[in-house]
Amino acid sequence: MSTEQRENLESVLRQSAFPVGIDVNEQRRLLRELTSAQPLAADVTVTAAALGGIPTAEITIDGIEPRYVVLYFHGGVYVLGDAFLAADLASQIGRRTGAKVISVDYRLAPEAPYPAAVDDALAAYEALLRNGTAPSDIAFAGESAGGGLAVATLVNARDHGLPLPAAAFVMSPYADLTLAGTTMETKREVDTLMSRDNLQSRVTDYTSGRDAALGLISPIFADLSGLPPLIIQAGTHEVLLDDAVRLAQQAATADVEVTLDITPGVPHVFQTFYPMLDEAAAALDRAGQFLSAHLAGPERVTAERNADRKE
């Protein structure tokens, strides 16, 4: 990160930080305002659609004939954001994997607390399978709460006996709503976007009296055995760093293939800043390579290599 990039990033982060204590509707308004200031690339098309009755945003890139589908879950601590606001970051994953991205517009708390988001995510995945998309041609992706929801949906799909997707990519996952991670305190001074206080104020909106340690609320406490390969990315300047580290540890303990990819000196969901931050674009490249390798599958990779040799 150059000095110029760091200064530009710090300026953006200061403008993006929400004051602690403001209500949900004001947070939603501020988020829409911030996101609308970042126009989509000219070659990105976003179309309203639905899966299993769940609203979605379908994101395609001009000139890319999609071979795969990325089912995407947006962030926003389960109370903010929507499928369309996430389109810019989601499109970067589609661009790097040759995939159509379907961003799930799951219901938000406090109007629709747990298990609404979990139910909607599973319904969308079930519909994708029913519509004929092979699980080996699907990857999950998500940021922040959407990263936690992606992992929870893998667990939920497994427990419902559904075939699982080829892989999943989660950015700065919000995976422990008990807020027990040690970096809640140790990274407090360097995280200008999030804090224990502003997270705590939204936890009860989502849990609505349920135990925050339930595995489908906080997948850090779930049995992760049998899940597909995961790549988990986070930055060292975020209070949720420990969520990413512990989630990777839980996955490894459960014999899941997992890549923990930590970038120093960058904030929560730093991939959002790919237009101005070299580390963000590089992290998205690594994630794209990971997903592409698993979506291709060992048989397809071998066949392509053999075809290349013949040429």
What's the rounded Cα separation, in Å, for the pair 44 and 292? 20
- Nearest partner of 97 among 294, 247, 311, 299, judged by Cα: 294
- Phi and psi of 169, rounded to 5°? -125, 120
CB 167 within 8 A of CB 137: no
- Phi and psi of 34, rounded to 5°? -65, -45
Does 275 sit behind a cis peptide bond, omega within 30 degrees of 0 on the bond before it?
no
Beta bridge partners of 261: 233
Sign of CA dihedral 24, 27, 33, 39: negative
- Phi and psi of 141, rounded to 5°? -150, 155
Catalytically active residues are 144, 238, 268
Helix (H, G, I), strand (E, B) or coil at 49: strand
Residue appearing with tokens 């993006």: 16
Helix (H, G, I), strand (E, B) or coil at 239: coil
- Nearest partner of 154 among 168, 142, 170, 134, judged by Cα: 168
What's the rounded Cα separation, in Å, for the pair 137 and 118? 22
What's the rounded Cα separation, in Å, for the pair 6 and 93? 24
Q: How far apart are the first and last CA of the chain?
A: 41
Pairing of the two strands 99-104 and 54-61: antiparallel
